Amino acid sequence: MNAEFPVDVAFLGAVEQQATLYGLGAARTGSRVWMHDFPSGYSVGQGEKRPGMHDKFVPTSPTEFRMRVETDITKLRFVNWA
């Protein structure tokens, strides 16, 4: 899978099904209603499946944030936003 990266770059891993998010507090707008569950400032979100829809994130503890070391990106699971 590294063939898709520039020659001088190696893929070493990723954080699966999680993201660092920045909440805007009272200034929230937009179509991602799930974002309203997050406090203002930086937070960690855990991916949650929603059948027939794009996945969403739900608040989780920053201590749950884990990077998986894996050189084959196809073996990692990410939220479905396609």
Q: What is the pTM of this model?
A: 0.71
- By DSSP bridging, strand 56-60 and strand 41-48 are antiparallel
pLDDT digits (tens, 9 = 90+) for 25-79: 656 666 677 888 888 889 999 999 988 888 999 999 988 888 889 888 888 888 8
Chain mean position to CA 8? 25
Query: What is the token pair recorded at 1?
Result: 């899978």
Rounded-to-integer distance, Cα 49 and Cα 79, Å: 8
